[in-house]
Structure 1
């Protein structure tokens, strides 16, 4: 009974927007396109059919607004060659072991994109 009450309380608690960042390092010799996908709702960053483009051997910090506790996964691929991908890939449909993060207010997650 207590467990059901806790579950109901958690479901009734509204989520609040959190600001967090992803620090992406492209250690490849090619440009890499990256998107961030929510596993909890139909949201993609940057959205609107755009990608974060990271040049070879460079880095980019990307701030996003997400819901606290939300699962966010990255999909990355060599720009122009989406068959060479990492994370959940360009279509958010690849299995991955360590490409998802939990949205936590004022945190930064690092993504190393390697050969």
Structure 2
């Protein structure tokens, strides 16, 4: 029975997704909403029309499951006013050279949101 289970695991092959964390530090006096966008596929975190909400001055670590080497960009905006935004913004349509990172298993990417 154990051999059969081990054989099934070997046949299944390696997992396609890596787990990593994104650590967001909101240094603003406003609460912010954050989304993460894949540049390599049609994926958004947290997805399902939801956002990560971070209170003023708070820190939050969010786990994501991504593909190894996947290019991920972040967008943030003042909660309730998406005209005040950072990164690629709420619609993933603003140019940004410093708001993307690569998916690396068991790593943490830090995002600092300043005034």
Do these two structures clear the TM 0.5 threshold for a shared fold by scoring above it?
A: yes
The normalised TM-score by structure 1 is 0.86
Q: CA RMSD in A?
A: 1.2
Q: CA deviation digits over 1:34-73, x for unaligned, max 9?
A: 0000000000000000000000000100000000000000
The separation in 1 between residues aligned to 2:17 and 2:30, in whole angstroms, is 34
The separation in 1 between residues aligned to 2:102 and 2:65, in whole angstroms, is 12
The normalised TM-score by structure 2 is 0.86
Q: Give 1 or 2 for the bigger CA radius of gyration.
A: 2
Q: 2:94 — aligned with what?
A: 94
Unpaired stretches in structure 1, ≥5 consecutive residues: 1-13
Q: 1:36 — aligned with what?
A: 36
Counting matched residue pairs gives: 102
Q: Spell out structure 1 runs of 4+ moving beyond 6 A.
A: none
Q: 2:85 — aligned with what?
A: 85
Residues 20 and 63 in structure 1, CA contact (< 8 A), matched pair in contact too: yes
